[in-house]
Amino acid sequence: MTDSPGITEPEFEELMARHESMIYGIAVAMLHDVHAARDVVQQVLIRLWDEINRGRVRRDCAGWLRVVTANHCRNHLRQHARTRPRPTESFADLCTPDASPHAKRRLAEALSRIEELPPQQRQAISLLAQGLTYCQIAEAMAITEVNARKHCSLARAAILSKR
């Protein structure tokens, strides 16, 4: 990267340090694939560099980054819809070793239900789990706050339902 009038390299590195974990968290939550999430992070950061230097994005760009990250993830999911492998490891393996078998089973069931959610509900509940407000979720998903609440509510009901 070369210095340009929009932002210097040290300023951009500081901006990356501030937002990279948020971008990665959104990408992992949406894609369920750490390698694809890393690719999305790179794509988003390259786009951020370009857009800041063109004067299209301000440096306080967390909301813009959420939207762009979600869009890149949706594009990735569309492009890989037919080839996306199912997770091979059990989600229950993610529990602590001292967790009870009942806790592991309930976690596996809940995570399985999350995987079965429609994409918008899965994205909304993932963003909520990361600590975003309904307003921030709405901004990231480019929907109204009412719809963000609705997607989260439907997702919670589906996750907690007994089959």
Please state, in angstroms and rounded to a whole number, the distance separating the CA atoms of residues 19 and 26: 11
Check residue 55 and give its pLDDT: 84
Check residue 79 and give its pLDDT: 85
Is residue 71 domain-resident? yes
Please provide the DSSP assignment of 125-156 as one string: HHHHHTT--HHHHHHHHTS-HHHHHHHHHHHH
Check residue 3 and give its pLDDT: 42
55, with CB counted inside 10 A (0-12, 13-18, 19+), is: exposed
Is residue 143 domain-resident? no
Check residue 4 and give its pLDDT: 44
Is residue 91 domain-resident? no
Question: 32 CB contacts (<8 Å, ≥6 apart)?
Answer: 87, 115
Check residue 34 and give its pLDDT: 86
Mean pLDDT per block of 10 residues along the chain (163 residues) reads 66 90 89 89 93 84 91 88 49 55 75 86 86 87 90 86 62
| Residue 96, number of CB atoms within 10 A of its CB | 7
Check residue 40 and give its pLDDT: 94
Is residue 66 domain-resident? yes
Is residue 145 domain-resident? no
Please provide the DSSP assignment of 28-47 as one string: HHHH--HHHHHHHHHHHHHH
Q: What is the CATH number of the domain that holds 74?
A: 1.10.1740
Give residue 58's region: left, alpha or beta (phi > 0; psi -120 to 50).
beta
- Write out the residue range of the structural domain in which residue 27 sits: 1-85
CA distances from 49 to 53, 140, 141 (A): 6, 19, 22
Which amino acid is it at 38? R
Check residue 72 and give its pLDDT: 93
Please state, in angstroms and rounded to a whole number, the distance separating the CA atoms of residues 27 and 127: 10
Is residue 119 domain-resident? no
Is residue 9 domain-resident? yes
Which amino acid is it at 154? L
Check residue 57 and give its pLDDT: 84
Query: What is the pTM assigned to this prediction?
Result: 0.54
Is residue 142 domain-resident? no
Task: Count up the domains in the chain and report the number.
Answer: 1
